Chains A and B, each alone.
Chain A
Amino acid sequence: MGKKKKRATEKVWCYYCDREFDDEKILVQHQKAKHFKCHVCHKKLSTASGMVIHVLQVHKENVTKVPNSKEGRDSTDIEIYGMQGIPPDVLAAHYGEEEEESPAKVAKIEIPSVPLGAAVPRPYGMVYQPQQVPGAVPARPMYYPGPPMRPAGPGWPMPPPPRPQQWYPPGSVPPPPHLGYRPPQLFPVHGMGMNMPSSSPAPPGIQPSSPAMPVSQPLFPVVNNTTPSQASPFSAPLPVGGAQQPPNNSFPVGGNNSHSYASGPNTSGPSIGPPPVIANKAPSSQPNEVYLVWDDEAMSMEERRMSLPKYKVHDETSQMNSINEAIDRRISESRLAGRMAF
């Protein structure tokens, strides 16, 4: 098409992944679902920086890259919302590239890589300094004890060499034999200092390689009826790029935890429910209001039931309670010690 460079009023596109959309509303939805979504709890935020802050505050993790974004477009520093915030050179490059699409197609194929700063703008960010990708993914807590464990182990079979961020690859370790261990040695203390997961998520670019990981077999041959074939759904092709949309309508799949009902908590804050209320609230007269039948966040149903006076050991006074509890404890301990049947 011999149009003039007026494309800004036509298709909108996503800075992070270069996809095009018919209108900005859909673009924003796309960005929220693909780029501003917390990988831990699937909460959709409104910007990349908002998502980073959320993951840091709520899940205590550092996010350095925007998920599902292309190389060079994954910086969390750039403030993008819809079409706003796109640096002018990227903007120009995108539309300039649009213009040159037809004649440049052949040229693109022939030129395998573009030297930096080349005049031909490319969608893969070759024109721009590529973002400094963090190197090897920071070490995650190892699932199983690593090499230092070996001398301390009380004869347990050794796990295979560590693979970062791995839940234990199933099928690779035989069940530990029943040991005649002495209790102090049972759980050897290790100085590996495994910490809470606090490192950044795997860069999205790694995701496509995940189908190669052998995650489908059970850990060891299961004695009972469960068969390895039941795990075979895991070998189904994983959607590249982590497609998040619910595949079918049979599950009312939330996918994220945003609540859609009026009386629910605000979805923008940290993911905590409403403050605990002792009795069930009366349902509002508004037609679409929903309510939790059990809404006491502070205690479970069993705890509530146990708070009844009849379950107190002796409900005279609290002083008596503590004395009686101490007596009961001693009786129980002596039972345990003496292994008395009763």
Chain B
Amino acid sequence: RASDKRIGGRQLTLRFPSSSSTLPENTISDGPRLVIMATFGAAANANTNPNKSYEVTPSPADSISSLSFSPRADILVATSWDNQVRCWEISRSGTSLATAPKASISHDQPVLCSAWKDDGTTVFSGGCDKQAKMWPLLSGGQPVTVAMHDAPIVDMAWIPGMNLLVTGSWDKTLKYWDTRQQTPVHTQQLPDKCYSLSVKHPLLVVGTADRNLIVFNLQNPQTEFKRIVSPLKYQTRCVTAFPDQQGFLVGSIEGRVGVHHLDDSQQNKNFTFKCHRDGNEIYSVNALNFHPVHGTFATAGSDGAFNFWDKDSKQRLKAMSRCSQPIPCSSFNHDGSIYAYASCYDWNKGAENHNPATAKSSIFLHMPQESEVKAKPRVASGRK
């Protein structure tokens, strides 16, 4: 029904005589919704990749749900709604990049999350088939199922200090898996569906539905160290632990990020800031990633933009140009020289705005300049 409306109605597809030969996902929707994404004219091609990032090919057939770089090498893994887990090897020479697809595995249903083992040999992936698979891709091994939940697995992380995989699911549990065993080492009940989790050993932070944020000390994982209601008033979208484990970032659907410190004595350093808003539209913050070297971080949103921020001096370091499609996920590589982000539909406007025939999913690689990601000293405010 929705597609009929669009095809018969005022769907606008923009074609360009360019080599990229892709139809950007620009549609005008019927009804009361305003034109939001397709306000660009002939320059729309530039808007699919306005930052002139390197595009990873071949691009997945459907939206990308997660991107993970190996902690040891420039190998990128992407999981997708087309049920595939793909891996590329990236090579850098100077300021240019090249990518080579290496291998892929499949799940039975869309794959939502991925994680690398800390030794860079193995990739874990999980998704709507309620399973997590372990893929020893460096050795060319076959994937095996190592985890199961009662509902889709939405996020996962490898815990290096304990050699365990932790998975979070819409079944309101976290499960810890020793990959050699069928049953989880521990199941932790959550107050609601898991939406996002992040590990920086021994800190584990989980964001669930209903705006719960739960912190665990992985040296005592059976007990919640702290549970708070999100400082953001809207649904939690993503959480990321500080590299120094002193706190975490939380992003919401309301274009806002919270910076939260765990120690009570540092609560006065907590703050929130608005981002990924355009005019009177407020977009969701979909991804938060710390730069592995500088301690600054990137946010990516449904508005198609990604920005770099410094939480200690409370500054935005760089605002990148908006792509025509939302960015649902992103990741830095192990040394921060590459920032990978996906540009594809994240469902932020529902099914009505998805046209599978013309939808394009891309993975872009951006090489941040030092000025974009290096921490800056605090600006003197002149205020008492």
A contact residues vs B (CB 8 Å cutoff): 39-42, 58-59, 140-141, 143-145, 149, 156, 159, 165-168, 170, 173, 175-176, 178, 183, 186-187, 189-190, 194, 196-197, 201-202, 206-207, 210, 213, 215-219, 222, 224-227, 230-231, 233-234, 236, 238-239, 242-257, 259, 261, 265, 271-273, 279-280, 282-283, 288-297, 299-306, 308, 311, 332-333, 335-337, 339-342
Contacts and interface: CB of A to CB of B under 8 A. Distances in A.
Nearest to B294: A230
A295 to B, nearest CB: 7
Interface stretch (B12-20, B28-36, B90-98): B28-36
B257 to A, nearest CB: 10
Contacts of A218: 243-245
Given A213-B265, A291-B281, A279 B350 contact: yes
B100 interface: no
Interface in B226-277: 226-229, 231-235, 237, 243-246, 253-256, 261-275, 277
Nearest to B301: A293
Nearest to B236: A300
8 contacts: A197-B227, A218-B244, A251-B309, A257-B231, A261-B280, A292-B253, A301-B346, A336-B145
A243 to B, nearest CB: 7
B246 A183 contact: no
A203 to B, nearest CB: 11
Contacts of B379: 247-248, 250
B280 A251 contact: no
Contacts of A183: 178, 181, 185
A224 B69 CA distance: 14
Give the residue among A159, A170, A215, A301 with the most B Cβ atoms within 10 A.
A301
Nearest to A193: B223
A215 B312 CA distance: 14
B186 interface: yes
B221 A187 contact: yes
A284 B290 CA distance: 37
Contacts of B314: 246-248, 250-251, 253
Given A186-B186, A333-B148, A225 B335 contact: yes
Contacts of A249: 381
Contacts of B209: 299-300
Contacts of B162: 176, 186
B225 A141 contact: yes
Interface of B: 31-34, 36, 65, 71, 81, 109-110, 112, 128-131, 142-148, 152, 154, 161-163, 170, 178, 181-182, 185-186, 193, 195, 201-202, 209, 211, 217, 219-229, 231-235, 237, 243-246, 253-256, 261-275, 277, 279-284, 292-295, 302-303, 309, 312-316, 334-336, 346-352, 375, 378-381, 383
A306 B380 CA distance: 48
Contacts of A247: 314, 378-379, 381, 383
Contact of B217 (A168, A248, A290, A297): A168
A190 B223 CA distance: 9
A207 B268 contact: yes
A336 B148 contact: yes
Contacts of B254: 273, 292
B315 A251 contact: yes
B142 A167 contact: no
B296 to A, nearest CB: 9
A215 B247 CA distance: 11
4 nearest CB pairs, A to B: A282-B32, A233-B312, A242-B268, A230-B295
Nearest to B164: A186
Contacts of B225: 141, 143, 167
A176 B217 CA distance: 13
Main secondary structure on A side of the interface with B:
loop
Given A248-B378, A251-B315, A302-B112, A280 B350 contact: yes
Given A42-B272, A183-B178, A187-B222, 5 more contacts: A149-B220, A187-B221, A227-B293, A288-B280, A305-B81
A238 B209 CA distance: 33
A196 B152 contact: no
Contacts of B146: 336
B264 A176 contact: no
Given A202-B264, A226-B293, A176 B161 contact: yes
B312 to A, nearest CB: 3
A231 B269 CA distance: 14
Contacts of A293: 36, 281-284, 302-303, 348-349
B281 A341 contact: no
Nearest to B382: A248
Contact of B246 (A215, A272, A290): A215
Contacts of A149: 220
A301 B348 contact: yes
Nearest to A294: B348
Contacts of A292: 234, 253-255, 282, 284
Given A226-B243, A300-B235, A306 B284 contact: no
A141 B264 CA distance: 12
B264 A311 contact: no
A219 to B, nearest CB: 5
A136 B331 CA distance: 44
B169 to A, nearest CB: 12
Nearest to B228: A40
Nearest to A306: B128
A301 to B, nearest CB: 4
B334 A225 contact: yes
Given A187-B221, A300-B195, A294 B253 contact: yes
A210 B267 CA distance: 11
Contact of B315 (A144, A226, A248, A341): A248
Contacts of B270: 42
A59 B228 contact: yes
A170 B243 CA distance: 11
A291 B34 CA distance: 12
